[in-house]
Structure 1
């Protein structure tokens, strides 16, 4: 037995033990039973007492419902809530006695203030009690509610656990909130599929309210930012819920004024939210463009990467692009092309490509800020195929400007680089590189230097995807074949010749005939007899003859160039044999 229970003098020195939840509830019900009738006789401050009386009646009804819940006394939240309710009702009882006592003459304003404070306290307590009752957690054993759900937990158990977490967030003190947020973060970390259920059963709007720096301790705020960031990044449903409940504004304010740790988490959430194009416009509404641009300049490596990702996402919106230019985003993005981490560099390149493709205004801005030089530097230094793709797209967009066109056309280094990508890059890099080779004005000397990529261009002509690849490959090849030595080099490549002839076959439906016809016609324009012999030997003549009979555009002219007047009978005999 505890010593305190056996020593009377010592027992008297101990503070009275707190009443159990059941005892406190009994005291509250006894007070309400006496208080409610007595308020009917109060004649002063009648409107205020009518409000209080309604709240007392509502509270009595809710407490009756509480006592019907099988496990209500086990819930730790009630250990604080019920004593607070008891204290409030005691205060109301005191005010009731004062208003009924003719000899008591308090100041009118003071009494009004006291009554209003009691009304406010009771409103909050009724809200918390209602929240507990509606959550359903009072009908379950505390051991069930508090146990962290396992992988095999049922959807019902998980839903109840989530409701309990959010109930604690809204009713409990700092320690309850901290533990609830820790449990929520652990749940999202271990089971990403739970994010959708959190969005459905959790009070996300309250979680977002915890981002307010003035209303919460830093430890609560940091965990809340992390939880919101996880919800924004895990699933489409939870991300949509986070945005619709108004998280974007508090997150941007966190980036603007929070610690660097908070900035990183908030920036990650903003990047995820703005990945949905329909959400991007809202960044401007909250004044977030300048905030994100500033974080791109001065954030940590992690924060900077997420900020650049968010800027890239919002740059798809025309109005926001203008705001980005006004906030000085373009020189920042171009600097990041050559100084950021690989991840941030890729996002910056993507954003620059979006801006370059949007309008001549942005292309001029990029060129004025020496954007082409930065892009070429990035093209030379980067090993990421995704980054190279964005860089090439931006260069392709800029190549339509006169100054960029002249610079790119005359740069042997650049021409060799894109020819090498035609040979060794992935299909998207090959596509963009072939487009540049087809459009630029390349000198004959540089065409001879890169003639080794012609076999790759022939092979690309067979690719059905992506759309337009066959055409740009054929156009690039026709451009390179303007050099006589390149024609001879190509026809000496047996695999390339066989591919061209197979593409001419009328039975081959995978390639539009205008592309191989154009290539053969170019080879035979001032082509040597050796080129003719190799093409004829491979079967080009027969396919062109049939295509000519089918009146396929360009086939007749290509056939005439291939046959020649003096050798026509020889070629006909070769075909018959």
Structure 2
């Protein structure tokens, strides 16, 4: 039986083809692989076909891990199930490399498809640095991809790897699972609940918050609840409500609410388990602490420091600052609101951000500020970009993952101005509101009625 190639070797295409030819005879003598041989042999056949394709690049980065996997198979150095899964993934990667790229075509949709394919290729086949960069980029653009379901398996793999990759994977899965039930089901089916709970337990503060948000999205679907109970999710979620960052606490609490909101058998069992785990006391402590923290923040003029963080050059920092500002201005006394008026132009600019999570956070903060302060409403009306940017967030195609209630609230706050109403109509709010009213989004009907004043809106029937 030939030995596996040394770790320092840089195997080429010919070496991998040689190993592929030698594997069947070597593996046939190993009882450990007999039960898994059907799936292993199918992967080997797919690998042989892909490597023999003229389109397969002879210096692909796939060759080194392939040679290592084949060497492990021949020496029975790896457990069979894990090796079978590894070979299946390598076969899929090889098929991707052997598929000729389609000719470029015109149109935005074609460009978006090409961008999605490029991201997936970088997630699967690039170096560690390239994969990390692709994950970070995907965290900001996942919800806008036309092939978003295709990236879920790769995000789940990154989630299981831990570290910075898990943080970026959580951030990318957050808008995907908010916008798609299929994406949520795919995450759960690939063991995502366990990996997300691991991120909640040992990830960075940003990863904990994003993971809790993904779990909240998954918990909204009753048929996915058994995964939460099987993984024993409740104790860890309650721990996050008690000890996590404010954002992680909020999202973990939302997950608990979804888990215990159902009336079916699974929902009832989770309610009982939550009660037994001390959920009521935990939630009470959270609410008491939140009220005390808000009073301290106001007295220390903390809101002004949070508003200053909106000028950071890092999108995650700006996002967290906007979410904190929304919370502070929504719950604090009026005396702190004049300290954050300078935040309005920055938040208007953030409505154009590449990351969906940043746009959503900016809309939440603006909704809180404009509802609380006439001065902030005046500043928002003066900014020529404000109305147009807020209207664009009503578009279900261009801003998936944004909670539409908040841009609607922003627009309602200035809808008493005839000039602002004209700007909304000119920006296309009429068409977007039709769909939002059908979906019964809070405030959409009221905003439509406001825009109907002065007969500017002919598409809405009067009753």
Higher relative contact order (CA 8 A, sep 6+): 2
**Bin for the TM-score computed over the shorter chain:** 0.3 to 0.5
| TM-score (norm. length: structure 2) | 0.48
